[in-house]
Amino acid sequence: SVQTNMQHGGHQTMTIPQRAIHRHGADDGGRYPHTFAGTEHPDGSLERAIHAMASIVEMRDPYTSGHQNRVAAITVEMAGNLGVREERIRSLRYAALLHDLGTMFIPSEIRGKPGILNDVERSVIRMHPKYGYDVLRTVNLSWDVAEIVYQHHERLDGSGYPEGLTGDTLMLESRILAVADVVDAMLSHRPYRPALPLCSVREELTRNAGRLYDCAVVESCVRMLDSNRVNHRKQDDFSRR
């Protein structure tokens, strides 16, 4: 097994026992095993529970209203364009709907601060992927949903958080979610800035393709931007695929 220790500020050191050996899943030449995102009950209770959790997050932060659904919509379409298998897309969609679950544990005065965060506040915000992971690993979902959430702010060059993972240690699903999250965040109004134009989003992606973001994922997303497939209309038709 692979053992990785990390220190989160003043928090207790966390040991990650076997996550690293399950990166990517079987779409990477069959090198890694994959699992399913949990068994959906015939009455749709799992789906409703996931949407309920996502709704709670948005109720606590009105500035992000609709963000998780829009991110799920973008990730599902990109994953389909990249040939990701259906069972893995299901895990990815669940992770996208819940990727900001950990922000529930961030004080509201930090989440909604209209100015620039200081170093301490930024370090608190950067804990939210771990908090989301800690919650999701306790529920009846497969390991990959929690792991995708954990990795969604990591970057290829190791400059992301919470662990500074790099390159091939990042799951394909987390690479897709990372780009979708950046795109919707830039296109959305935030307490500290207005929404940015599509040209700024495109520039951010293309400038950092291969350094921060996966090149194939960026290419897929740019095609969506160029064909007006990414906007802020209701996208439940995509996110429920």
pLDDT at 234: 41
pLDDT at 222: 96
Instruction: Report the C-alpha gap between 215 and 209 in whole angstroms.
Output: 5
Residue 52 backbone phi and psi in degrees, to 5: -65, -45
The rounded percent of the chain whose pLDDT value lies above 90 is: 57
pTM score over 0.85: no
Residue 182 backbone phi and psi in degrees, to 5: -60, -45
For range 200-211, the mean pLDDT? 97
State the first-to-last Cα distance of the chain, in angstroms, to the nearest integer.
Answer: 35
pLDDT at 63: 64
> Average pLDDT over the chain, rounded to whole?
80
pLDDT band of residue 49 (cuts 50, 70, 90) is confident
**CB hemisphere CA count around 176 (13 angstroms):** 27
pLDDT tens-digit readout, 139-154: 878 779 999 999 999 9
pLDDT tens-digit readout, 51-82: 888 888 888 776 667 899 999 999 999 999 99
Q: Is pLDDT at 17 greater than 60 in this prediction?
A: no
Integer angstrom CA distances of residue 106 from 129, 138, 198:
11, 20, 29
For range 4-8, the mean pLDDT? 35
